[in-house]
Amino acid sequence: MDQRLYEQFRDIGRDIYLGGITSSHGGNMSVRVGNRIIIKRRGGQLGRLKEEDFVETSLHRKDSGLLRASTELIVHREIYLQTSALAIIHCHPRTAIVLSMSRDEIVPIDNEGSYLLHKVPVISVEYASGSKEMADAIASGLKGYKIVMLRGHGCFAVGQTLEEAFHWCSTLEEVSDIILEASLLHEPFIEYRRNAEGYQKW
Amino acid sequence: MEGWAGKYLEIDLSSGRIENHPLDKEMARLFLGGRGLGARLLWELVGPEVEPLSAENVLIFCAGPLTASGAQTSNRFTVTTKSPLTGTVCDSNSGGWWGMQFKRTGYDALIVRGRAERPVMIEIQRDGKISIQDAGHLWGKTVSEVTEALGQNNNKRNVLCIGPAGENLVRMASIMNDGTRALARGGPGAVMGSKNLKAIVVEGSEKNSANDPELFRFMLYETGKLIKNSPITSQAYPEFGTAVVMNVVNEIGALPTRNFQQTQFEGAEKISGETMADTILTGNRACWACPIACTRQTKTERAEGEGPEYETTWAFGAQCGIDDLPAIAEANYLCNDLGLDTISAGNTIGCAMEMGEKGLVDTELRFGRADLLLPTIADIGYRRGLGDELAEGSYRFAEKYGAVQYSMTAKKLELPAYDPRGMQGQGLLYATSNRGGCHMRGNMLGPEVLSLPRLVDRFANQGKAGIVAVHQNEAAVVDSLVVCRFTNVAVSSEYFARLLTAVSGIKFTADDLLKVGERVWNLEHLYNLREGFGRADDTLPERLLNEPVPAGPSKGHTARLHLMLDEYYQFRGWNEQGVPEAAKLKELELEGV
C-alpha cells in the first residue's frame, strides 16, 4: 500500500479512536482503488494501525481476502458497487447509537448538523453484523444519504476520501450529543431555522 | 435420549459375540463422547503389548452428546484406535450423515474387536436388529461400489466401509462413510481391513432431543447468527471451499512446496479455491445440519466427484510441484474410491519425488509429474511395485533408503499444508500433537494468520506455548461433542457449553468444557507415554529445524521448537520429560489412569 494512503488510514483511525467514537477493536475503514478495495483487517485496532493491518481484495468478486478482512467487508463491497463512494468509515458513536434505539431517523437540531447532514436514517436489520441483508440495506440507504445509522450498532459514512467520511461520523456524534443534552433541559425548543420541517422530509 | 443414549455396543468379530453395555455416566461427564470417550475406552482396552494390525486392537466408533441433536454441524463422529502408521493413540473424525444415523440407533459408541475368519459386514437395522453378515462379495470392491451396493440413503440408511487400500493394510488407509467422507488420518482403514471388516451399515430411528427445548432453540438462533455473520463460514467456505486458504498461506510464505524445500509455490493461484470456483466447480454440498456447505462438487474432462479440499489440493499440488487442478481433483477422487488419506498419500509421493530427483530411489517420480499421480496412487492402494513401499508411509519408505531426513512427518504422520518455519506456533502444535503431525489438533492458522480470535506474531516464540495448548484443548472438546471444527471459527466454547446444557439438562460452563479438552489431551498423552513415546518424539523433521527458508516472507526462519517446548511442558503441568505431574492428574481427575 502507498505510504501516504497508509498514513491517512493511520491518522484518521487514531482520531476516531481518540475521539471516543469507537472501542479499541471496533469499527473499520476502507478505500476504493480502481477495481480493488483496501480494507482494515479483522481485529486490527483503529487507534494503532500498522501497515500489515490492511487487506487488498477485489471490488467485483469475492476472494481469499474474506479470510482476513474486516467482518463488514461484505457491506463495504456492496456500498462501493451501489454508490459512487471512494472511502467508507464504520464506527460506533455512542450517543448516536442511543438515539438509534428510540427513533427511525436522527434529525439534527443544531445549525451545523442541519447544514451538513440534514437527516440521518436509522436502518434496522435482524443480523446487524456482516450479513448480506445488512449490506443491501446499508448500501441502499447510502444512495440517498452520506451517512446512515444501523440501529443499536453504529454508523456507515461515505466520502471521496477517508477524511470526508470521518467528517460525517464526527458530525453525527456531535449532532446526537446536542439532541440528547437539549432533551435533558426539559425546556421548549425554539425553532430558529426557517423551513425546518424540510429536514424531516430530507 | 438427551445427549447420551446411555449405552454402547461391543462386537467381537472373532467369536461373533454382540453385547450391549451401559455407558458409565461419570465417564460421559468427564470425556463427553467422540474423541474423548474413544480415548478413555482405548486406554482400558488396548495396551502397549497390542500390535495395531492384530486382532487385539480395536476400532471404537463414537458419537457425541451433540451428535444428531440438530445443532449446527452435529453430524460428526469419530473412530479411535491404535494407529498402524504412528503407533500412537489415533482418532479420526468425519462428517456426512453416518454419525447422525449411528447415534439414532440408540448407541453412544460401537467397539469392534477381534478378527473375522472371512470378510464380513455389520448391519444395525431400524428395528434394532444387529447382525454380522458375510461380505465376501464386497471384498475387493471400491468405496463407491460398496456404498451403492449396500443401499446408501442419506436420511435413512448410511454406509461406512473401506476400499482396497484398507483391505491391503496400507498404513495410510482411510475408512469412508457416505461415499466420500473420510476418517483418514493415521490409517484406521488398515485396522478395519485387518479385522476382515468391509462395512458397517446403520439405520436409526431414535431422536437426540433437547432437555430444555427453549434454551436449545435460542442457542441455535444465536450460533446460527454467528455462523451467518462470519465472512469465513458464510462466504469464504461456501463459495470457495477450504482451498480459499491457499493464496493467503502462500502469500505469507508458509505454503510447503516440493516436499518443504520452499514455502511459496509459483502455481498457488492455479490451485486455489478461487480458481476452482472458476473452473471445475459445479456446486457445493452440506453435511447433515450444516449451514456452511464447504463441500466441493467438481467435474473435470475425465471424471467428476467431490473435493478437493485445501489439504488435498496442497498435498497433490504444491507438495508435488503440480499446478494442474483437474489432475489434483482426479487424484482426490481416486483416493476416496480406494480409501486413502489424501494428506499422507500426497505428502509421501512428494517425498518420493524428491528422493527420485536426488537419485536415492529408482523411480520416474519427479516434481511436476501430474501424469504419474493416478498410477502412483493406484499402486499404493493395491500395493504394487514401488507403491507397496509407499503404502508404508513416507517415514518407513525414506528410512528403507537411508534417507529419513526427506520424510516430512512428526511421529511418522505426514505433515499437512502449513510450513512451521512461517508459523512458529504451528510447529509446536505439530511436534506435540498426540496423533502425530496434524493441523486438526488445534490449528494455529487462526491466531497466527487469520486474527481468530486475535492476531499474534507468527514468528514469535516466547508466549506461544500457552496459546497452542489452549487451542489444542479447545479442539479436543469440539471433537468430543462432536461438531465440526469449522463451526468453531465463529462459535466459541461459551456457546457450546450452553448448547450442551440445553441438550443434556446438565449444567456445563465454558470452563468445564475446556477442562474436558485438557483432560482428553492429557489422557491421550498418557497413552502415548505408556506406549514408550517421550520428549524425543515431540519433534519435527530435521529440515524444518535446521534449514532456513530460502526465499520469500519467511526467508531465514527455521522452526525454533527448542524455544517453545519447555514453556509448553511447564504450561501443561508436565515435567521436563513431558510426564504430567501428580497435581495436574489430580486436577483433571485422571489419578485413576
Per-residue pLDDT averaged across B247-259, rounded? 98
CB < 8 Å from A in window 428-487 of B: 449-455
Instruction: Kindly calculate the radius of gyration of chain A based on its CA atoms and give it in whole angstroms.
Output: 17
> Are B273 and A64 a contacting pair at CB < 8 A?
yes
What residues of B are in contact with residue A130 (Cβ under 8 Å)? Answer: 229-231, 234
A145 vs chain B: nearest CA distance in angstroms?
25
> Are B235 and A43 a contacting pair at CB < 8 A?
no
Among B451, B452, B456, the strongest candidate for a mutation testing the A interface, having the largest count of A CBs within 10 A, is B451
Chain A residue at shortest CA distance from B449:
A68
Category of B578 on φ-ψ map: left (φ > 0), alpha (ψ -120 to 50) or beta: left
Q: How many helices (H) and strands (E) does chain A have?
A: 7, 8
User: pLDDT digits over B293-330, tens only?
Assistant: 999 999 999 999 999 999 999 999 999 999 999 999 99
A130 vs chain B: nearest CA distance in angstroms?
5
> Are A69 and B451 a contacting pair at CB < 8 A?
no
What residues of B are in contact with residue A68 (Cβ under 8 Å)? Answer: 248, 449-451
Q: Quote the CA–CA distance of B423 and B442 in Å, as a whole number.
A: 13
Note the ipTM here.
0.79
Per-residue pLDDT averaged across B457-484, rounded? 95
Model-wide pTM > 0.80: yes
Q: Quote the CA–CA distance of B398 and B392 in Å, as a whole number.
A: 10
Task: Look at residue B420 and tell me whether its pLDDT is greater than 90.
Answer: yes
Q: In angstroms, what CA-CA distances link A144 with A85, A89, A139, A147, A148? A: 12, 17, 9, 9, 9
B312 vs chain A: nearest CA distance in angstroms?
18
Q: Which three cell numbers stand for residue B347?
A: 505428502
User: pLDDT digits over A115-134, tens only?
Assistant: 999 999 999 998 888 889 99
Strand order in B181-183's β-sheet?
B130-134, B120-124, B197-202, B158-161, B175-177, B181-183
Helix (H) or strand (E) holding B177: strand B175-177
Q: What is the SS3 string spanning B433-468?
A: CCCCCCCCCCCCHHHHHHCCCCCCCCCCCCCHHHHH
Report the share of chain B in percent with pLDDT over 90: 98
Give Cβ neighbours of residue B592 (< 8 Å, ≥ 6 apart). Answer: none
What residues of B are in contact with residue A71 (Cβ under 8 Å)? Answer: 229-231
Beta strands B109-113 and B181-183 are unpaired
A153: pLDDT confidence band, cut at 50, 70 and 90?
A: very high
The type of residue at A166 is F
The residue behind cell 455389520 is B122
Nearest to B13 by CA among B130, B155, B141: B130
Domain ranges for chain B, please list them: 7-202, 235-414, 424-587
Task: Name the average pLDDT for chain B.
Answer: 97
Asked: is B424-587 a CATH 1.10.10.10 domain? The reply is no
Instruction: Kindly calculate the radius of gyration of chain B based on its CA atoms and give it in whole angstroms.
Output: 22
What residues of B are in contact with residue A64 (Cβ under 8 Å)? Answer: 236, 240, 244-248, 272-274
Cβ atoms B538, B551 nearer than 8 A: no
What residues of B are in contact with residue A67 (Cβ under 8 Å)? Answer: 231-232, 236, 244-245, 248, 449-450
B160 vs chain A: nearest CA distance in angstroms?
33
Lowest mean pLDDT segment, chosen from B176-180, B320-324, B484-488: B484-488
Tell me which CATH homologous superfamily contains domain B7-202. Answer: Aldehyde ferredoxin oxidoreductase, N-terminal domain (3.60.9.10)
3-class SS of residue A16: helix
Backbone CA torsion sign across B439, B393, B177, B327: positive
Cβ atoms B97, B153 nearer than 8 A: no
- Domains present along chain A, CATH in parentheses: 3-200 (3.40.225.10)
Chain A residue at shortest CA distance from B447:
A43
A195: pLDDT confidence band, cut at 50, 70 and 90?
A: confident
Q: Quote the CA–CA distance of B91 and B413 in Å, as a whole number.
A: 13
Beta strands B197-202 and A87-91 are unpaired
- Any CB–CB contact under 8 A between B231 and chain A? yes
Helix (H) or strand (E) holding A28: strand A28-33
Q: Which CATH class is domain B235-414?
A: mainly alpha
